[in-house]
Structure 1
């Protein structure tokens, strides 16, 4: 089967499964809604901040507060895109139609990534403008130094979260097992490792903590992270590459 036909087939699969479409819609809604709420609260509490906190007040990063929940939906999307066929048994039919397993997997990843990128970018820009609209005199402007980079970075962050989840799902095959590992990893383990002094230097190299650096415009005074915004994104990309290579290696080795 030609590459074009494989890509069209994967697009049809994603579009025809309502759960994947709903998760992307949920990612947009929760990211913007929570970002709006936190922006309102931040505006109301601004006068209570210390002088130091006011100097490092980052209205751009505040508008992305909803990413913590939005990435949940992107994780589910990435897992479902890859593992749905395993749970339904359709993987045998798919691999019979496309026996080149590399072409099969990376066509699926390419289509899902393109969709995640469109949704991620739209979400990041909407979250930014909605958040800034309620911050009043404390708001940032898209032309301010570092702001456009942070907004584009927000869209890239959401996309990479989905891609990482696809790689993990390709390795584990089971949607329940994949989600059972990814959810605690991002929402519990990563936070613990990143906030406990003994493990903080390890936690900062996890994909979500490193990748989120791209969304920051101002750096807190006590931040001693040894990399900048693009360095953090590069670390996240490395995690994604490893996950996808692992998924491909196991897909090539195992029976359907």
Structure 2
């Protein structure tokens, strides 16, 4: 137990000593909250121009989290950098020499990074919600006490966290920042969106991690045939995260550093 504690402290030292990883989290806060505020302002100024159907389906809570679309890029970058920095610098050899129990090393790194991004993710979720609702104004905004709103706020923080952990697992599999960025960015920002926009592949997109997980941020139930609700979607996303972490562990265990 004492050895595990030392490994955890070592991983915390590694993460906070690399400025690029911390800057990505700072960027996530600024981009997500700022973009959400901007979109809320645009919605407030153009709401009367929307069709009656769109006004009825308007979700003020989800609108506050509109910045998550771009903010998750910073979360992905954080997840990739946390893992790839050791491979890029060759420090992974020293880390494995100091901690030959690879499961302990991986668990400590994931635990420290997850706690850090969870704290930042919750700050982003709370700030995005309250800033967005303030801009929308009393006539359009929701209240934190309204049904489903608190769940959406907490879920937004969890979503940001799981996106980062998913990126960690993928990077452990690939062991290359270029490959990880080259796969994850197109996957989340192109492939996922295209599959969800095409009728023939829309049902497939329901089972992708971002499409499933983002349901947690919705309060006004969308009109679709998804076989799960908000927490069910989060469970689907969690299953993806567990799968890539397991695959990452197998790669770490079986391949030389």
**TM-score of the superposed pair, with normalisation by structure 1:** 0.98
Runs ≥4 residues deviating over 6 A: none
Instruction: Tell me the equivalent position of 1:200.
Output: 202
Instruction: Tell me the equivalent position of 2:109.
Output: 108
Please give the alpha-carbon distance, in whole angstroms, between the structure 1 residues aligned to 2:117 and 2:127: 15
Please give the alpha-carbon distance, in whole angstroms, between the structure 2 residues aligned to 1:224 and 1:51: 23
Instruction: Tell me the equivalent position of 1:213.
Output: 215
Q: CA RMSD in A?
A: 0.8
Alignment counterpart, residue 165 of structure 1, candidates 161, 164, 167: 167
Report 1:1-20 matches (<5 A). Answer: 2-20=3-21
Report 1:56-95 matches (<5 A). Answer: 56-95=57-96
Give a deviation string over 1:162-203, Cα, whole Å, max 9, x none.
Answer: 000000001000011111100000000000111111100001
Q: What SS is found at the alignment partner of 1:138?
A: coil
Equivalent residue pairs, number: 255
Please give the alpha-carbon distance, in whole angstroms, between the structure 2 residues aligned to 1:89 and 1:51: 59
Please give the alpha-carbon distance, in whole angstroms, between the structure 2 residues aligned to 1:44 and 1:148: 26
Instruction: Tell me the equivalent position of 2:150.
Output: 148
Q: CA deviation at 1:205?
A: 0.7
Please give the alpha-carbon distance, in whole angstroms, between the structure 2 residues aligned to 1:199 and 1:30: 30
Is 1:125 the equivalent of 2:104?
Answer: no
Q: CA deviation at 1:45?
A: 1.4
Instruction: Tell me the equivalent position of 1:51.
Output: 52
Please give the alpha-carbon distance, in whole angstroms, between the structure 2 residues aligned to 1:225 and 1:54: 22
Please give the alpha-carbon distance, in whole angstroms, between the structure 1 residues aligned to 2:226 and 2:57: 16
Alignment counterpart, residue 186 of structure 2, candidates 184, 200, 203: 184
Gaps of 5+ in 2: none
Please give the alpha-carbon distance, in whole angstroms, between the structure 2 residues aligned to 1:42 and 1:114: 34
Q: What SS is found at the alignment partner of 1:2?
A: helix
Q: CA deviation at 1:244?
A: 0.2
Instruction: Tell me the equivalent position of 2:40.
Output: 39
Please give the alpha-carbon distance, in whole angstroms, between the structure 2 residues aligned to 1:242 and 1:131: 34
Instruction: Tell me the equivalent position of 2:244.
Output: 243
Please give the alpha-carbon distance, in whole angstroms, between the structure 1 residues aligned to 2:168 and 2:226: 28
Please give the alpha-carbon distance, in whole angstroms, between the structure 2 residues aligned to 1:191 and 1:241: 23
Gaps of 5+ in 1: none
Please give the alpha-carbon distance, in whole angstroms, between the structure 2 residues aligned to 1:255 and 1:134: 53
Q: What SS is found at the alignment partner of 1:162?
A: helix
Please give the alpha-carbon distance, in whole angstroms, between the structure 1 residues aligned to 2:29 and 2:246: 29
Q: What SS is found at the alignment partner of 1:223?
A: coil
